[in-house]
Each structure stands twice: as structure tokens, then as C-alpha cells.
Structure 1
Amino acid sequence: MIFIAAMTKAWQLLICTAAIFIPGFCRDCQDLRLGQYRCEDERTTNTVGNFVESCEVLDKNRPEEYAWRILCYPAPGISCNDKVFDGETVGFNYTVTCNKKSEKSLETALLLSIFLGMFGVDRFYLGYPAIGLLKLSTFGFMLVGQLVDIILIATQVVKPADGGDYTVDYFGARMYHSPDNLSFPVP
């Protein structure tokens, strides 16, 4: 069995070495240049039409890293991974990492820090009960800790304890992404 695997690798090496004159033969699909493939998201859309990132843990050894897969299709006539593609067959998956989102709102944390930060309510909200209890017992470190926390939360240096980013509401202009890859402003 090992002999057959070694012979297969030897034949592949021989074919790839002899294929120097055939452009694109024996290359990995991940090494294609921009324009030689198109990618489509595997993300789902909600009822408004905005993309909802379906982040998931791809590597069970690193559960803190979230990502989603994007399917990529080599252009018709492009050869890679020892195949010639027709433009409709998936050639490779492109993995994009995404940030874990928390249920904690930046606006809520900032308002709690401004108005109730001297009692440590902002730190309790963000999931830091020890610092919240310390601020409660020292009146927000005599209001100096409250001022520092306002700055740290406003600049997003202090994030929620669950490791995610704040949920930030955006009420600006929107783009609608239609299924046929056309984009236009929503009136």
C-alpha cells in the first residue's frame, strides 16, 4: 500500500514537472489570481435583505475563533488541483474570520458609566463583578475611576467580559443586496 502511494506521488511529480508548458496545470486553486475565480457567500439573509453573518466555530481545538466559509468557483477553462473547471463547480472554500458579537450594547454601557458609574453598575453590566463591587464600595474610586471608565468604554478599550465586541446600532444609509448580485440604495 505504501509502495502504491509513493508511486502515485512520483507520477504526480513527473506529470507536474512535465507540465511546465501547460499553464495552470498542477497548481493549487488557493493560488489563483483575482479574476480567475468568483466567490459567493454562504451567509444567510434576513427579511430586510441585509446579510446576517452565520459565524461558527470551524476548529474544535480553538473554540474562541469564529469564521464562515465562502464558496469559490474557478472561471471556465481554469485548471487547478489537477482538474479543469467549468465555472459552476466549487474549486475551494475561502475561510473568513469574524468577530464574536456580544449582547452588550455600547450605548447602554456608556450611559450606565456616565450616570451610574460611581456605583459600579457599568462594570456589573459588562460582566466584571469584582471591579463593580470595588467601585461600589469606594464610590467609583472617588469619581476618578468613573471618569477613567467613561473614557475606556467610549474608546472601546474595555469590552464585555464574554470576549465579544459591542453590539452597535447603525441607523445610516443602507444598501440592499439582491440575489442577482446587484446593489442599490434603499430609499
Structure 2
Amino acid sequence: MACQQWRPDRGRCLRSYGIVLLLCTNPFLQCVNGYLSSSHVGQEPPYTRDAQPSSIITSPEVPAATSTSSTDEESYASKCPSGGLCSRLPADCIQCNYQHNCTYGKPTSFSCKAKKGVHCVGESGQQQSNFSLSVICQFCWQLDPTQYRCSNSTNCMTVACPRQRYNATCNVLEHVHCLGKRRFQKRLYCNWTGGYKWSTALVLSITLGGFGADRFYLGQWREGLGKLFSFGGLGIWTLIDVLLIAVGYVGPADGSLYI
């Protein structure tokens, strides 16, 4: 009976030892199997986050950036006069330390210097690298409309109620100094013209309006044909068109302004 009780206990202990040994060796076997079956054996390790800066520095694109900067220097240097007054240099030829804590609309002196390759002189005639420039404290988009040029749109209607606006790209004139970006976006009213004269349209409306000549001149062919075949709406349509063209309510069909 004692032997029969001892044998089951011994078998139970061996099974327990076997399970523990299998659990301990299983992770090791998985690691070995995964390494042998992986595709990165014999290949270079992937770049890590710390290795990226060195790859960018040694990239062949770095010399291209240097050549681009030298081209930019040559482009602005060719536009900048040499030997002139520093205060008269275009804004693209100088670098200024603009401070935005100045009083709006008041003249403020800023410290500036000429860009590389640009030579200028002061009021005394001596060559200077650093100089002081007096600028009105205002951002570029706050300048007077005469101090910048904006793109014009021909896709909007100028004769509309309410008046239509468009997004214009504006560039400050070369010799105008201001704070902020010299290229900005602005919402402007449509103000383009197709070459139609208000005086010509009015004269045609008074003299030949009964035959639709005024509408034909403005590019409104359907209205012109309607007036032609109705004899100017028995004179009523002709009279109304004279008044509408006189006050500028009826304009060119392309939506442009009179000249």
C-alpha cells in the first residue's frame, strides 16, 4: 500500500517539474526561432531617430540649397544700386530689426544693415554697413493703396448689388518700408474694365435706342434683339434704358466698369 501511494506522488512531482521546465525554455526557443526566421539577418539595421540628422547632413541635397542661396544673393544684388545712400536702398536690399511695440502711425527709427554684396554710404559720404532708418510704424497691409500693387480679377461682376469682392495678392513697392510681410492678401472690390465707354453707350441709347444699338454695344444680344423687333418696346423700353444707362445701372454684359 505504501509503494502504491508513493508512485502516484512521484509521478505527480515529475509532471510538475516537466511543466515548469517547459515554461522556462519556451521563451528562449521562441527567441531563437524568431531570429533565425527573420528577414533582417545579414542586412543593415534600420535608421533610428538619433541617426536621422547624420543622414540629412550627408545628403547630396545640401549643396543644392547652398547654390540656391547664392543665386538669390546675385538676384537681389543686381537690383540694388551700389554707392548710393543707405536710407534710399530698396527694402529687398537691407535687413532691419523691426520692433512691433512702436506707436502706430508715428515715425520710428530702426537699426538696419545692407545685405551681403550691397554697398552704400551715409549722409557724410562714408561707406556704412549699419545705419538707422526712419519708418512709419504700420504693417504693410495698412499702407495707402498708392504704395502697393494688387492683382486684378476679371472673373467677378463689378455691376452687382451688393458689390462683389475678390481675393487680391498685393506687393509693396520697392522703396516703401513697412512692418510685416511685403506680400499679403486683401479683399478688394471688383474694379476691372472691358473697354466700354459710358458716353458711347448713352449716345447710342438716345439716338438708336429704339433699334437696340445700346444693348448690342454693351454685349447684351438678347435684349438688343428684343428692342429691335418691338421697336424699343413702343418707345417705353427705350426711355427706360436711357435712364438706366445714364445712372450707370445698366453696364457691359461682361460685368466690367465703364471707362
TM-score (norm. length: structure 2): 0.37
The alignment's TM-score, normalised by the length of structure 1, stands at 0.50
Instruction: Select the structure of larger CA radius of gyration.
Output: 2
**Bigger proportion of residues as strand:** 1
In terms of fraction of residues, the more helix-rich structure is: 2
